[in-house]
Structure 1
Amino acid sequence: MESKELMQLAAKASDDKRAEDIVVLDMQNVSLIADYFLICHGSNERQVQAIARGIKEEVEEVGIDVKRLEGFEHSRWILVDLGDVVCHIFHEDDRGYYNLERLWGDAPTYTYQDIEPPEDYA
């Protein structure tokens, strides 16, 4: 699966769990860390966990291994590392503090409405 399709799948999984303010940073010409950063937030710890769990389940269903899952216990900022796509799921109260969109301001930014759904989910 190409990184764009993986990003689309993760974005759709986030939306399915009612993630708020889903944003994707295109990191391909900005950093070697990943091709895409997906950033979103939930309004409470349980929702943040549900979003992370939803992403994990969706990608595993299509045979993609989650490389790393960090922060699940505290659920203030969960990082789901899918290799070429890194998902940052914040608690609503913490997203503005870390402000990854500003930190990586050189990266082209897309809202969820700008992202095409994966073909299997259209």
Structure 2
Amino acid sequence: MENTELIQIIANACDDKRAEDIVALDMNEVSLVADYFLICHGNTERQVQAIARGIKESMDERDISVNRIEGMEHGRWVLVDTGDIVCHIFHKDERIYYNLERLWGDAERLQLHFGLEG
């Protein structure tokens, strides 16, 4: 599966849990950490945790392994690592504070499409 297809599937899983301001960044030219970042936020700790669980369930349905999930216990900033794609699921307050979009401002944004089957 292509990474661009996988990031759309992950974005749809976030959208299904009502994640807000879903952004995908192509990190290939700016970082060695991952090929892509997906950044979104929820308004409560419980919603942040639900978004992360939704991504995990979506990956499990497709037999795609998730390398690691970190931050679930607090639900303020959860990382879901699928290898080439790292998902940053923030609580709204943390997203504003850390502002990864500005930090990685040189990264190209990918166009995402919602309401489509992934």
Answer yes or no: is 1:92 the counterpart of 2:89. Answer: no
Compute the RMSD of aligned alpha carbons: 1.6
In structure 2, the gaps of 5 or more residues are none
State the alpha-carbon separation in 1 of the partners of residues 56 and 100 from structure 2.
21
Name the count of aligned residue pairs: 118
Aligned AA (1:28): N
State the alpha-carbon separation in 2 of the partners of residues 60 and 104 from structure 1.
29
In structure 1, the gaps of 5 or more residues are none
State the alpha-carbon separation in 1 of the partners of residues 84 and 60 from structure 2.
15
Q: Secondary structure of the equivalent of 2:58?
A: helix
State the alpha-carbon separation in 1 of the partners of residues 17 and 113 from structure 2.
18
- 1:7 corresponds in structure 2 to 7
Could you list the structure 1 runs, at least 4 aligned residues long, displaced by more than 6 angstroms after superposition.
none
TM superposition score normalised by structure 2: 0.94
- 1:50 corresponds in structure 2 to 50
Note the C-alpha offset of 1:5: 1.2
State the alpha-carbon separation in 2 of the partners of residues 49 and 90 from structure 1.
10
Aligned AA (1:29): E
| More moved, 31-40 vs 41-50 | 31-40
- 1:34 corresponds in structure 2 to 34
Answer yes or no: is 1:104 the counterpart of 2:104. Answer: yes
Note the C-alpha offset of 1:116: 3.7
TM superposition score normalised by structure 1: 0.91
Note the C-alpha offset of 1:58: 0.1
